[in-house]
Amino acid sequence: MAEAFSPQESARIRADFPILARTGRGDHPLVYLDSGATSQKPRQVVEAERRYYETVNAGAHRGAHLLSEEATDAYESARATVARFVGAAEPDEIVFTKNATESLNLVAYAFSNAGFDGAMDGVDPAVAERFRLGPGDEVCVTEMEHHANLVPWQELCRRTGATLRWLGVTDEGRLDLSTLDEVVNERTKVLAFTHVSNVLGTVNPVATLVERAREVGAITVLDACQSAPHLRLDVQQLGVDLAAFSGHKMFGPTGVGVLWGRSELLAAMPPFITGGSMIAVVRMEQTTYAAPPARFEAGSMNVAQAVGLAAACDYLDELGLERVHAHETALTQRLLDGLAERPWVRVVGPTTTQDRGASVAFVVDGVHAHDVGQVLDDQGIEVRVGHHCAWPLHRRMRVAATTRASMAAYNTADEIDALLQALDRVPAVFGLETSQEAS
């Protein structure tokens, strides 16, 4: 079984992240516990992107000169690295986007565009039918989705006349599967769901959801933003049809995301954005489109960011995702145990580490999450406050906002203790009556 990083290993990992050496407000040591929003970047990623700009920079797939050839090689090498990282069957199953939101919109618009005349010409009729939505068809999501995996499907249903349905969430923060066979039925064309909740930390039962989707012929779309940096992500083993994730949450640059898809599905999907580079033949009267992934990468490519993302994949592989997960699980357990000792704090979501990721959301009853966050920030503790782009989930859990601590491989037990100690200031600052003296 994988073990958490030793203090010596943690020190070496932290040395790779220059920003962790700075201080926060009041010159307190910086404790960064907001990796669920965006992670920090190791030197290896920053240097990979810098080397590209300093030695290779040119238009990828746009020239026959040396630099252009080298830029193209760098871009396609990055694609191959990302493909290996997620267990893709081949590099061409990887589409580079600017973030996971764009990846998910790409898929939603493919379903929308499939309904136009001629959009699916040349596609196997059985495959084409899987993408055509209209009145009577259904799209299913879950109540714990980030807005990026909810709003695009709402809009798709609005454009096509399909009906949006969803799986609910239990009081414990798990998916309510009691209605799975009813909600995911013969009318379901799409089942889109998060792998790990960005609020609750819940790791969802992918195998169960995929099995039901296959029974009814629905296409599965996985939001892997909160799993790619923390769990070994093998898309073939998971069995989903499409998956999206962002570079900036997994030690990579901003401005680059990924859509992975099965080859036969990508080949059938109409484009989302049109223009240069995604074409086969252009005439004044009509244009034909390139094969994937180029079909979905119109315009100038985000080459430097793709190179940086590949470096992030290499970095995570070097750390070992199994050890990363073990380390984060130990930190999560330490935080859950500490919060349980403070009766004036309530965890929103699972209170054990079983099937759980490294994000812990909590509330202090009687104190707004923004105020809790301010007290923590004053002590150098950086967390996220608000509804975390998951407003319906917060309504379901009967809270307006939460304070969320989200951990990564570079965090330490001492930082969890610092968070808990800073949190102990909240009752005194806001005059809360507690049943237990703050430790």
Antiparallel, parallel or unpaired: β 163-167 and 138-142: parallel
- State the catalytic residue, choosing from 140, 157, 225, 389: 389
**24 closest CA partner among 382, 409, 416, 423:** 382
Query: Known catalytic residue: 389?
Result: yes
Report d(CA 350, CA 170) in Å as an integer: 10
Kindly give, in sequence order, each residue whose CB lies less than 8 Å from that of residue 427, ignoring residues fewer than 6 positions away. 344, 433, 434, 438
Kindly give, in sequence order, each residue whose CB lies less than 8 Å from that of residue 54, ignoring residues fewer than 6 positions away. none
Long-range contacts of 9-15 (CB under 8 A, 24+ apart): 10/327, 10/410, 10/412, 13/319, 13/409, 13/410, 14/410, 14/412
Only one residue has tokens 């066979």, namely 181
Read off the tokens for 14. Answer: 């932290």
**DSSP structure class, residue 57:** -
Read off the tokens for 191. Answer: 């089942």
Report d(CA 265, CA 437) in Å as an integer: 58
Q: What is the amino acid identity at position 282? A: V
Report d(CA 114, CA 123) in Å as an integer: 11
Q: What is the amino acid identity at position 427? A: P
Read off the tokens for 364. Answer: 């202090």
| Helix 321-340 with 303-319: angle, nearest 10 deg | 80
DSSP string, 84-122: HHHT-SSGGGEEEESSHHHHHHHHHHHHHHTTSTTTTTT
Q: Provide the CA 261 distance to its chain's centre, in angstroms.
A: 16
3-state secondary structure of 41: coil
Catalytic sites, residue numbers: 389
